[in-house]
Every structure is written in structure tokens, then in C-alpha cells.
Amino acid sequence: MNSTTNTQRTVTIAYGPSFASSEVWSDIKSKLVIPTEIVSITAAQRYDPALILLDHQLTTEKTHAQWVEEFPEAIFLATDALKLDVDLILSNGLPYRQTLKLLEMACYQWILKSEKTERAKMHDTSFQYLNKLADISISLSSEDDLLTLLRKILEEAQNIACCDAASLFLINEVNDHESELVFELTQNDSMDFPFEEKRFPIDVTSIAGYVALTDNELNIPDAYELPPDVPYKFNRSYDRKSGYRTKSILAIPLTDKQKSVIGVLQFINRKKARSLKISDEKSAVAYTLPFDSDINVLLRALASQAGIAIENTILQNEIKALFEGFVHASVSAIEQRDPTTSGHSFRVADLCIDLARSVSVSNLTRLRNVRFTESEIKELKYAALLHDFGKVGVRESVLVKEKKLSAGGLENIHYRIQLAQERLKSQSLGKQLQMYRNGGVTDSAIAAIEAQLITDVQMLHEFYQAITEVNEPSVLKQDNKDMLDRIHEYRYNSMEDELSIITKEEFDLLSIAKGSLSPAERKEIESHVVHTQNFLNHIPWTKEFKNIPTIAGAHHEKLDGSGYPHGMTEDEIPLPSKIMTVCDIYDALTASDRPYKLAINTEKAIDILHEESARGYLDVDLVEVFVEAKVFHAIDTREYSTATEFSSYSNHPCDYDLQKHE
């Protein structure tokens, strides 16, 4: 009689006293079937039988329905069900064989039923674990902070394994030929202890090192009883110091997409319940279990997800570091070309970050529902850092044009004045010679000619002094303007040609009311915004940073449409650009002295921001938040690169936007 399937299950048969004398039990005992006599339902409860033979005594105590209610998983046979009396069933010929067959079929039926139940439970459990693994995978893939990710991995691993502790090791490339194992993180339900990162060589002498080096999983039932022939040892130092008892260990390699080992996930002391605490040898022996195959499969799946998540996070962090390096290198390149404004882009970025965060907590009616996410603030930060990058597209001769006249222009005028002076001297001598030829020489006439020469030469000298003065990028005073008109109208003869001291182009340049740039050169300086946006448009930004070109490209726009380069109006200008405009202007006003302007104090700069907003250039609410939240203090205590010596002159567009205030 075969009462088991391939799983070799043991079946308990409970029978009433009427069946006790049967010889059939001797045959059944050889078959993984345990026959047990019961005299009551209470006795049956002690054995939880799979098959129950009810006789008259048992059915007298409880009805068949009551027995079924008490043992819903059991299979029942009753005397009446056999259609034979008890003595005949258990003693003679064919009925006896029928009885064995009936019992065998009943046992087989129970086995099928129990297997079906277990399969259903396993299916439900597997489905739950698959859902859990899917949730874990989503959670891990969405985390971009490495330390938080590692903590999530250990926490989820402990939940699945129901283990007391878990540790994580990562492989660090020291150089092209050497690697080390870094003890990155550990968690323990039973004990708190100060974590200290440790680094050690990757070799087979440690459990984690062996797993990392061989890419093999280790399942150790007892860390204190390792086989003598294994190369690895368990380090008991922590146990000795803390009184802890490490027993069962499961160490699994973490691999990346290329199946290369990047670390080791180690689980310690699987427990009967997560709430149990392990503090000593006794509790470790009582509460811990070995890691079985079912749990190991799930932990391998988690390790696989964790390895890829760690690889992705490290890669994302490297990409972010690379991008940060690119941005800072770009800003450094801008500032090296423009040393007089060094630190400007970094200060504007810090001001923008603080103003955006202040806007998010503002109670002003129009801004009450504006809430910048960290991603949006980071987008604004990068736009602010790169907002002046387009200056690399402005001609060097314009960007570093220190005086109103181009390089060599003043020297050319000086040469003409010297030439005019020599011409005047020649003309004076010519007049005197003519008088001698005509015989009408008098001392008074000669003195008059020489006095006129001195006056004319002095006038030319004054012309040159005036030109030198108005060539500076300062405000053109009215008396200088009048002098410039005289100079422009002055003519002298040279080789029968009538010449001017200054050309029309030079006159226009020297007539610049303030600064050193002509309208055309101003336009070229202003074109830096277009260059910035064009440059940034060529970068394949991720979705979270896709607005950087637009934000940076609108930081010189004004609400009334008078800004540049597109003359955008209030509704067209992005809010981050409006924030950058306020911060850009404030820093331009308060930045260290330029060769062509003096820095002003915070109070005066705030007054100018209010004036600009009152004129309809700047957002009134943003200026109010900037002042009320004292955003300007964001750059007070931070160190920024500064140019203590002006190695070259530079025209900064933000300064030119504010010339009317100086």
C-alpha cells in the first residue's frame, strides 16, 4: 500500500476503538502512515490526523457533521461508508483487501488535497513576494542618493530574510590594477553600535572577500563552526566586544549589468520572528534559523536588483559630478576672460536659490500657490551659473574695450595734432619769411605772428587734453561736449588738403554719453544672451533641466517689453527668469568696484530695485520678497573668487543696464 507521493509525506490515521484489533495496521506501519487509536474528539485533537475512521463510539460522541467542522482538512471514513460490518472489514479475504484499497485511496486523496492547498499557499506567497520585489525594484530605482539607497536595500533585505542584521560591502577601484572592499553600511535589530567605515583587501580570508573574489554565494548555518578546509574565517571581534552571537550567515555577491561583482550583501541571524532580539549565545541558539532555499531565491533576486540599482546610482552621481564640473569649468572660463566680474555668476546663482525658496514660503497673494521643487531650484541654479556664458561669443576687442576709442585710436589723434602743430609752425615761419621778402618787417608784426602761433599750438594741446579726458568711460559733461564739437569742426591744411583732428567715427565714439561702447558695440555686448541661449540649446538636457536655455536667455528681458533680446513682456517671461533678473541686477549694483564704476551699498541697491519695479521693469512681488526675506544676505558670508587686480578691462552687460542710476 503506497500512502505517499514523491514528496514522501507522513499521514496520520486516527481510528475508533472498534478498529483497534485489526491486523491491517501492521501493514500500514511500513508505509509512512502512522495509525493512532482515539477514543474521543479530544484525543484526536492531539494528533491532528489526516484520515479519521469513525466507528459507532466516535459518532455517538459527536455527529459526523461536528467531526468535519472540527477537522475541516481531514478525510473521513465511517463504518457505514464501507457498507460492511467492522469484523468483516478487518479480517477476511476480499473485504480486507477492499479495506486496504479504500484506506490507500483515502490517504492519497488527503495528500492530493494537502498538496493542492500548499500549492495555493505557495502561489499566494510567491505572488506576494513578486509584488514585494516589484515594489522594492521601483523604490530602489527611484532613489538617487547612494547612502539612502544602501539603507533601503538593507532594510528590505532584512524584511524578506527576517534576519537580525545585514551588512553591505562595495568594491572600490583604487587604481587600474588594485581594488579594495569597503564596509559601507550595517544594520542590527538587536544592538546599536557606532558604525565605522573599513577598507580591506579583496582575498579569500574573509567571508565577504571570498564571495567578492569568487562570485559565489555562501550559506553558513553557524559562523563559529566552519569546516576546517575552507579558506575563509569569521572575525569574532565584534561579538567579543558586544556580547553578540553571530550564528547563521548568508553572503550573496552583488553584480552589475555586465555581471561583474561590485559588492557583497551579507545577512546575519535569520530569526523565527523579526521582533525577537538576539543578545547572547542563548537567544541566538533559541531564535535563529539557517537560511533556507526558498528565502535564498528571494534574496538573490533582491541582490540582483540592488546591484543594478547601486550601479545606476553611482553612474548617476558620476554624471552629476561630471556635469557640475562642466558647469564650474564653464563659469571659470567666463571669469578668466572677464576677471573684473569674477564671482558674479556664483553669487547670482546663490541669490536665485535663496529667492526661489523664499518665494515658495511667501504669503503674497500672487505668489501664494508658487512652490518650487528641488528639481526646479536646481534648474534655476544651473541657468544662473551659465547665464553669461554667451560672452565667449563677443569679440575680444569689444569685451575688453577700455576706452571709447579703439586700441591705437588716441595715438592716431595725437599724431594728427602733432602734425597740425608742425603745420602751424610752418605757416608761421612762412608768414614771417613773406614779410622779409616784402620788406615790411616790424617787431610788432613778428610778435603778433609768434603770439598767434603760441595760441594755436596751445589750443591744439587743449584739444588733446580734452580728447584724452572724454575718451574715459565716464559721464560726458556738457563743457566737454562743447569742446568736442569745436574739435570736430576744426580744420587744418596739409599738403593743400584740409584735414580734421578727429574723424566722424571718432567724434561719434568720443560723444558716447557714458561708458566706452558705441550703440553697435552695445548691441554686440547684448548679443551675449543670444549666444548663451544658442550654446545651451546644443546641450542634450534631461527632462528636469530642459528649460535652462529659456530661463538663461530671458534674464535681460523687462516686464514692459523694453528688454532684450526678444522684447518679451510680463506674461511671456518665465518666473525663474524674473527671479534671475532681480538677483543679477542686485549683484551688478553691489559687486566690487569696477574700473568704470563704484560699488554701492545694499540700501541704495534696494532703492534702485524698487525704482526698477515701479517703472514696470522688474516684478514688484519678487522685489518685495527679495527685500522682506533679506535674500541679499545669502552671499554675505560666502567666499567667492575675486579679481584683486584688473588684468584686463571688461564690459559687463548688467552694468550697462543700470547706467542711468549712477
Largest CA distance in the chain: 180
**Where in the chain are the domains?**
11-117, 143-316, 338-397+523-661, 409-515
pLDDT tens for each residue of 351-402: 999 999 999 999 888 898 899 999 999 999 999 999 988 888 888 777 777 8
pLDDT band at 4 (very low <50, low <70, confident <90, very high): very low
Helix (H) or strand (E) holding 445: helix 443-470
Asked whether residue 142 carries a pLDDT value surpassing 70, the answer given is no
Distance CA 62, CA 44 (A): 12
Of 557, 569, 532, which Cα lies nearest the Cα of 386?
Answer: 532
**Which of the residue ranges 15-24, 132-141, 448-457 would you say has the lowest mean pLDDT?**
132-141
Q: Give the pLDDT band (50/70/90) at residue 89.
A: very low
Average pLDDT over residues 14-37: 70
Question: Could you tell me the CA-to-CA distances from 296 to 135, 219, 220 in Å, in that order?
Answer: 19, 9, 12
Of 376, 381, 336, give the one whose Cα is nearest residue 360: 376
Whether cis (ω within 30° of 0) applies to the bond prior to 565 is yes
Q: Over 351-386, what HEC string results?
A: HHHHHHHHHHCCCCHHHCCCCCCHHHHHHHHHHHHC
Average pLDDT over residues 105-133: 59
* pLDDT score of 87 more than 50: no
At CB < 8 A and 24+ separation, what contacts does 594-599 make? 594/340, 594/341, 594/652, 594/655, 595/340, 595/402, 595/646, 595/649, 596/473, 596/474, 596/515, 596/516, 596/649, 596/655, 597/655, 597/662, 598/662
Percentage of the chain lying above the pLDDT 90 cut: 28
pLDDT at 177 over 90: no
614 touches 559 (CB < 8 A): no
Amino acid at 325: G
Residues of the chain with pLDDT > 70: what percent? 81
**pTM confidence score:** 0.63
Write the pLDDT tens digit of every residue in 330-343: 888 777 766 666 78
Q: Where are the alpha helices (DSSP H) in 142-256?
A: 146-161, 207-214, 237-242
For cell 488527503, name the residue: 110
Q: In this predicted model, what pLDDT tens digit does every residue of 580-624 receive, in sequence order?
A: 999 999 998 888 655 556 778 999 999 999 999 999 999 999 999
| CATH among 3.20.20.70, 2.60.40.10, 1.10.3210.10, 3.30.300.160 for 338-397+523-661 | 1.10.3210.10
Residue 650: strand, helix, or coil: coil
Q: Work out the pLDDT band at 78, boundaries 50, 70, 90.
A: confident
Question: Any idea which of 94-103, 449-458, 564-573 has the lowest mean pLDDT?
Answer: 94-103
Tell me what pLDDT residue 222 has: 94
Name 492's bridge partners: 499
Alpha helices in 90-166, H assignment, sequence order: 93-141, 146-161
Tell me if 321 sits within 8 A of 281, measured CB to CB: no
> What is the distance between the alpha carbons of residues 470 and 446, in angstroms, rounded to a whole number?
36
Q: 143-316, what's its fold?
A: Beta-Lactamase (3.30.450)
**Torsion of the alpha carbons at 158, 162, 142 and 346, rounded to the nearest 10:** -20
- Integer Cα distance of 465 and 379 in angstroms: 52
Q: For 261-333, where are the E strands, in sequence order?
A: 261-271, 288-289
Measure Cα distances from 641 to 96, 342, 440, 593 in Å: 103, 6, 75, 14
Higher pLDDT, 515 or 471: 471
Which of the following CATH numbers is that of domain 11-117: 1.20.58, 1.10.3470, 3.40.1620, 3.40.50? 3.40.50
- Sign (positive/negative) of CA torsion 508, 511, 517, 521? negative
Neighbours of 464 (CB within 10 A): 19
- What does the pLDDT read at residue 91? 41
Element (H, E) at 422: helix 409-438
Cβ density class 377-395: b for 16+ within 10 Å, e for less: bbbbbbbbbbbbbbbbebe
Question: When comparing pLDDT for 659 and 222, which is higher?
Answer: 222
Q: CB neighbours of 144 closer than 8 A, spacing ≥ 6? A: 313, 316, 317
DSSP state of 560: B
Q: Show the CA angle centred on residue 311, arms to residues 307 and 316, nearest 5°.
A: 150
d(CA 328, CA 348): 14
**What is the pLDDT, as a whole number, of residue 213?**
92
CA contacts within 13 A on the Cβ side of 167: 18
